[in-house]
Structure 1
Amino acid sequence: MSMTRKTLLSAIAALCLTGASSAQAQQASPARFTIAVIPDTQNYVDFTHQKAEGFPFDAREMMIEQFRFIADNAVSRGGDIVFATGVGDVWQHPTIAIDPSHEARGFRARPLPSGMNPDRWTRGVREVEIPASVDAYRLIDGALPFSVVSGNHDYDAQWWEESWPRDLTAPEGDLRRLGMIHVGGLVEWTRAFGAESSFFRDRPWYVASHDGGADSAQIFEAGGYRFLHIGLQFAPSDASLKWAETVIHAHPGLPTLISTHDFLNKDGERLPHPVVNQTVVDPFDNDAEGVWSKLVSRNPQIFMVLSGHHNGQSFRMDRNRSGGAVYQILSDYQDRNQAALDAGMAADKAPGLGDGWLRLMTFDMAGETPSVRVRTYSTHFRVYASDQPDYARRYKPNEQPQMTDEDFLARDEFVIRLDDFRARFGAGAGGGRN
């Protein structure tokens, strides 16, 4: 049974951390380690957000800062970050009108409304966005194991399908004016981040892949345990979910995390985006509830699900079919625009970039009950959320205006007690006392 929203917010607020002050991850101990979660980076590398297009600065440098921070604080370099996972929407624009697979199945696409020439999109993504994304990931390549999954913006094609037309009578800004957006094709994605890319080919910790690497699995060791991580493409098909289950069965007993682009919304619900709802248009795909019912709830090794896509942050805990806790965490800061405002852009013109915010989840495996300290850190401002006096004033109005400042901060800095972790996965190599 899900925790009620009121109970959840009260619990998170009570656990809010205010003592984080160091900008550097602490050196790893046998019992403590950190997983870095990289929220949607699409607006950093958007080719229109670079100096060459008249933007005040090269926003892609903010993505570079994030990855340099992760690399500098990896265990291999004296820090405590053992694994990093990107939750999708790495870049911004599509490259083609419709992918061959959907066209062959009878889909008919109409282009998304835009004043931009599609040929310009193609050049921008191939010449700026993808190279900038690859350059960022190269900074952590060799420093630690990592995963990256596709978001809806990473697909080759993104269109509104003609059977779900735009409602041009809806008010300006109403999402119904976009129709039902559909995506397809991962040629560019798998070329950059697929199983045969230089990032993952022949890496011993990259243990399995599916659909050219659109779905993938990694192993990392920390805190006396071996962990399995599975990355799933956006709106994964039944074939993707069945593949993931075979990977779990091939690694019995390992505590397992899932990263996928769209899972929780900012209200902590497993609901599809009102416009990008693949399952409405394509029965081959699964929404968040489908992923829960067909994969997560029925595999007791899965104890955590990480996601992005929905601007904001949320947390939810549900019990799987075996009664085990599954902690679900949304992290997406792509609409935060303070950096653009600081550069002198007018409030109505300053685009969301992300302001360098990412998630640092520090696991403490000592004692009878392990815990995870979830913090939000900006590599641009070099500060944790709890140390930023204007944090709620800057971001709450756009993300959670109904919340108090305290509750808003509690969404970004809190502690999860892994109450049943030992019972499910044993004491670990250190016997729970390392």
Structure 2
Amino acid sequence: MQKPFNLSNLARLLAVAAALPILAGCGALPATPSAERDFVLAVIPDTQNMLDYRHQQAEGFKFDANDLFVGQMRYLADNARSAGGKVAFVAAVGDVWQHQTATMETDHAARGHRAVPNPYFSVELEVTPKAKTVEMPAALAGYRLLDGRVPFGVAPGNHDYDAMWADARFPPVPPQELGKLMAAHPQTPVESRPDLIGMLHIGGLDNFRSIFGADSGFFKGKDWYVASYHGGADSAQIFSAGGYSFLHLALEMQPGDDVLAWAADVMAAHPGLPTIVTTHDYLNGAGERHGNPIVDLKRLDDRHNDAEDLWQKLIRRHDQIFLVLCGHQRGQAMRVDANGAGHQVVQILADYQDRGQSAIEAGVPPGLRGRPVPIGDGWLRLMHFDFAAAVPSVQVKTYSPHYRRYSGETSDYAKWYKALEQPALSDGEFFAADDYRFTLPDFRERFGPPR
């Protein structure tokens, strides 16, 4: 799904971030990391376009884009600690696959929600059996490469829900009128105008649970899978690395109050553990806690909480939470805020789904608005935690198993991607957004020394 982005405050946010003591510049991963005091947390951004059935040779595409996804998973498995590498945990931010199997599931239909046709989201709203026959089996096969090699948690994204529909309360304007209405606001991206192109709602997680539910082969009986809610739509894992045990919470998209209460109970059951929260939609490309306005679930259904609600109701109230990971909105961003106890919480966005350089290189003609056909190019986030020094640090790197190199080693990186994702940045700023180090100055005050 094409995501809106807002770059108006990005330069200012980058400047503020650069002045914070948390940042310590860019650089390569340590050549000789200290034994048992370092590890890698891998983050899988939205993979939907790699698994999209339309992007496979069986549909006439130049190559099987899901090979990019398999390459990601094989790389993580080969570099897991169980294989002699450094990857101790894998967090997936959602939008694993692309398509749905229903227009609307029964719960929303029973509560009076109605769908309307929407010409602007014909791809996103396609209901197809190929979600189950092509996309979900590819996801299952990829994650099986991690099974037994490294613990992982997956947060569902909007495309992982059983149904996604254009909500009747925000009907789209006719295409012949759109240009005239947009002319009045030429600087406003059309993707941020739900009053013109409509708004999408989602419902049902049976498909997601069939792959990633609490009773799935991935998690049932695993000692590191410690809790679940809604059958595994929300889940909790514990992994030990770097001298600490970490709690990871994978939360559904824009979760309701009941999910937040469950998350609080899980933390209470595991007091003192440094906690990472992964959820799909939290930061935008400008580093603001603003969700995608086209998929603003709270506006459509008061059972949901938006990003600021999630911060106020859960994250800032629980001092165990020190890191938040998300995707959904195109681009890269980082922000740091003090929680209610005065301790820092690092919040990071990474979403590479719309990248299409590998499609260009394969001879795939441009798609919508002359842009490359989006397939993601296999980019991953690798967060290298080092607890050997007096002040712990985290080196953030971005790596593509397809290109077999880091973003900082890719001379054309900004040329390939900056114009689509964050055109207001200089090339140097764009490189820095995917290759930087930050420190955790209050980590040991909160969680004690490594063991």
Query: Would you say same fold, with TM above 0.5?
Result: yes
Match of 2:407 among 385, 401, 409: 385
Question: Hey, what's the Cα distance between the residues in 2 that align with 1:19 and 1:366?
Answer: 17
Deviation at 1:350, TM superposition (A): 3.2
Distance 1:139 1:166, change over 3 A: same
Distance 1:117 1:359, change over 3 A: closer
3-state SS of the aligned residue for 1:373? Answer: strand
Corresponding pairs, count: 423
Pairs within 5 Å for 1:300-315: 300-315=319-334
CA deviation profile, 1:142-197 (whole Å, cap 9, x unmatched): 00110011000111110111111112332388234431100000011111111011
3-state SS of the aligned residue for 2:46? Answer: coil
Match of residue 17 from structure 1: 26
Question: Hey, what's the Cα distance between the residues in 1 that align with 2:421 and 2:42?
Answer: 22
Distance 1:326 1:101, change over 3 A: same
Q: Do residues 336 (structure 1) and 371 (structure 2) align? A: no
Deviation at 1:428, TM superposition (A): 1.9
Match of residue 273 from structure 1: 292
Question: Hey, what's the Cα distance between the residues in 1 that align with 2:122 and 2:256?
Answer: 33
Question: Hey, what's the Cα distance between the residues in 2 that align with 1:49 and 1:63?
Answer: 12
Distance 1:317 1:305, change over 3 A: same
**Contact 2:198/2:294, CA 8 A, preserved across alignment:** yes
Identity over aligned pairs, percent: 47
Pairs within 5 Å for 1:341-420: 341-347=360-366, 348=370, 350-420=372-442
Distance 1:224 1:230, change over 3 A: same
**Contact 1:166/1:179, CA 8 A, preserved across alignment:** yes
Match of 1:149 among 145, 148, 155: 155
Match of 1:98 among 100, 104, 121: 104
3-state SS of the aligned residue for 2:308? Answer: helix
Match of residue 283 from structure 1: 302
Counterpart AA for 1:174: V
Match of 2:190 among 174, 188, 198: 174
Match of residue 203 from structure 2: 184
Unmatched 5+ stretches in structure 1 = 430-434
Distance 1:115 1:364, change over 3 A: closer
Distance 1:395 1:15, change over 3 A: farther
3-state SS of the aligned residue for 1:196? Answer: coil
Counterpart AA for 1:82: A
Distance 1:20 1:370, change over 3 A: closer
**Contact 2:365/2:373, CA 8 A, preserved across alignment:** no
Counterpart AA for 1:51: Q
**Contact 2:99/2:124, CA 8 A, preserved across alignment:** no
**Contact 1:235/1:287, CA 8 A, preserved across alignment:** yes
Counterpart AA for 1:416: F
CA deviation profile, 1:75-107 (whole Å, cap 9, x unmatched): 000001000011000000111010101111111
Question: Hey, what's the Cα distance between the residues in 2 that align with 1:47 and 1:244?
Answer: 34
Distance 1:252 1:389, change over 3 A: same
Q: Do residues 33 (structure 1) and 42 (structure 2) align? A: no
Match of 2:81 among 75, 78, 82: 75
Match of residue 61 from structure 1: 67
Deviation at 1:122, TM superposition (A): 2.2
Question: Hey, what's the Cα distance between the residues in 1 that align with 2:331 and 2:213?
Answer: 28
**Contact 2:27/2:436, CA 8 A, preserved across alignment:** no
Question: Hey, what's the Cα distance between the residues in 2 that align with 1:43 and 1:428?
Answer: 40
Counterpart AA for 2:158: N
**Contact 2:23/2:438, CA 8 A, preserved across alignment:** no
Question: Hey, what's the Cα distance between the residues in 2 that align with 1:395 and 1:122?
Answer: 30
Deviation at 1:21, TM superposition (A): 11
Match of residue 432 from structure 1: none
Question: Hey, what's the Cα distance between the residues in 2 that align with 1:417 and 1:27?
Answer: 16
Question: Hey, what's the Cα distance between the residues in 2 that align with 1:43 and 1:115?
Answer: 15
Q: Do residues 132 (structure 1) and 116 (structure 2) align? A: no
Deviation at 1:367, TM superposition (A): 2.1
Unmatched 5+ stretches in structure 2 = 1-10, 183-188
Question: Hey, what's the Cα distance between the residues in 2 that align with 1:360 and 1:366?
Answer: 18
Deviates most, 348-357 or 32-41: 348-357
Counterpart AA for 2:315: V
**Contact 1:9/1:407, CA 8 A, preserved across alignment:** no
Match of residue 251 from structure 1: 270
Match of residue 16 from structure 2: 8
When the two structures are superposed, what TM-score results if normalisation uses the length of structure 1?
Answer: 0.93
Distance 1:396 1:21, change over 3 A: farther
3-state SS of the aligned residue for 1:83? Answer: strand
CA deviation profile, 1:278-322 (whole Å, cap 9, x unmatched): 000000001111110110000000000000000110000000000
Question: Hey, what's the Cα distance between the residues in 2 that align with 1:372 and 1:394?
Answer: 26
Counterpart AA for 1:10: A
Q: Do residues 213 (structure 1) and 222 (structure 2) align? A: no
**Contact 1:266/1:310, CA 8 A, preserved across alignment:** yes
3-state SS of the aligned residue for 2:289? Answer: coil
3-state SS of the aligned residue for 1:361? Answer: strand
**Contact 1:15/1:410, CA 8 A, preserved across alignment:** no
Question: Hey, what's the Cα distance between the residues in 2 that align with 1:89 and 1:82?
Answer: 22
**Contact 2:29/2:384, CA 8 A, preserved across alignment:** no
Question: Hey, what's the Cα distance between the residues in 2 that align with 1:28 and 1:157?
Answer: 47
CA RMSD of aligned residues (A): 2.1
